[in-house]
Structure 1
């Protein structure tokens, strides 16, 4: 479905001018805005009249809108009506797709993280893999929306994507589109009796599923949980209210997060309600470079409030808030606009810096300082046009000597970070039990 456009360039310019003069600003500013809108109209008119082949004005205007928004930061974007519907479905329903969060980096559609138990994860796709073609058609340079549209489709239909990965030649992966479920939470009692919960994203039901998981874990355990591993590795984020809701489950009141816009009067503070569902039982949060946005809100709040011990690697560093603004009720799509930044309870902005865990543990052996530096170059700060940290802070380089790494003979089939998280949680549980006696 195409966006509706006005009947003529003149009408477009007049309508835009009416919007411009209604905005705040001096007469001089409004005059300059009108001059730029006239320039836009002149260019569009010239393309329509003289371009070598026929053009679609709707497509040109949509591309101009996309270009304007992507020039702001990596997370502001225009969603045409089809894309906007996909966005709504992905937060509240099921859709046919591959199951991965992607962004555009240096002209490449790049995987931020595969979603747990989806075709993308089962095929072994990784964070920072670049998708360079879909069904043999190059997608280098196209928008994220267009790439997603090419990869989504009817459940059961195959699609072949071409992957470019560091240190290996490009290779094809054929995946069968599956129903990507809204279920973002999984849980189990580990073989050694440690309660474990994985949160893969934050949609409208995540808090509800976390509470359901705790209830089922307690039923299986036969008693209140003595502790919990909360795994948010490769969690790309999602809904702010769900990040607040999940954190609320584990806090007995107090601040969870605050958001600030460019107007300091619009600062919002979000607090947990009284009542910690685990009654103070120890928590270990597992995070890595793929933990972003809402996942960082949870990790940062639990760290600042000294409610959990963070284990893993420095998180992605997405500390900005995006607001979805429907246009004409969604009939013309919607804007995804960066409208603020969020701050942990201690007032930390993690934009472009990430959250440093209490104990740095790598899932693989870091052979050299160069390798650890390369590992650190997988963050918000590396995205073209990323917002800087307003405090001037920069992401700290990973120092190999500060990172605990798997033994040289550790099996790649075993999750070293999880194994160490269980040991750390067990020690905390034993210490708490001893203190109660």
Structure 2
């Protein structure tokens, strides 16, 4: 592909980037990156990675956008070398880099021999993480998540509210404007956290398409699997989507799908890196390290109605929020016949025991849990004792 063709795609990307004046919260973090290292942005399909790169192409005159998802027959190293030496571009924006066969080799070569900066995206985090050994000192990876509830309100309602801490929520130190946003929460957890929901009324058709592309394009690009194995992964997603949250782990998936526990763990790991599933390990060292497997919002709603899935949706929201904010957390493993709170979170100030539930959730799970701060986050506006509204966690 010659320069004229590449330049045509680049200019088209710039024109498209001008249509989106609002920036994701991660944008500021990315442009503040300094040093020689490259920046990698990983995240689900449909999350806004491409738009973010196109916005960078608009804001930086020395930047050049290349889509590796749609550009064929290109030698990446030679193309960047030519664009830098002959045309003066110094920042290269590489979209969906995992579709370029030898990206790992070429990124290393570019880093070692060219004086340029690279920001790249990928929907296949597994491929990037597995190659991070070679790229560990050369690439700083960042995850672009779906909208947080706070970010969703900025894009949808043009309201930019201050963040809250767990301490703020426990001590009722929020603003009245925070509380007024509760009316938007149900819409958010039903799919409005995906940026394309701002423009597309039928988000579930698009979510099904995302799942299909993950199964039949992204995963085969990074894992050597047979067709039958892809079908097993598809059944695994359906099984978890139709199940209650409790009891979903490697063993239950293995048992219900008729596959080995090793295969179950491998498939779940692939889906976690493809941003379909979330894996949470138990607290403590003397417990069987079987994880609790949840789904990313709102994929559970592809398999159940909101009324059927609401318990899982609440926990999916909480776990995704914890990951977005880099909290360390585990689930609390109960012994048979006893009730235990759901999660133990390291807030940075202390350990917090968290129970997630509906408005009728009580304190019985906290019996025997002492010397730790506790909170019950309910899907309501109730403030009573240690009960707080779940939606406030969206401002963390």
Shared fold (TM-score, shorter chain, > 0.5): no
- Higher helix proportion: 2
Under a length normalisation based on structure 1, what TM-score does the superposition of the two structures give?
0.23
Larger Rg: 1
Q: 1 or 2, which has the higher strand percentage?
A: 1
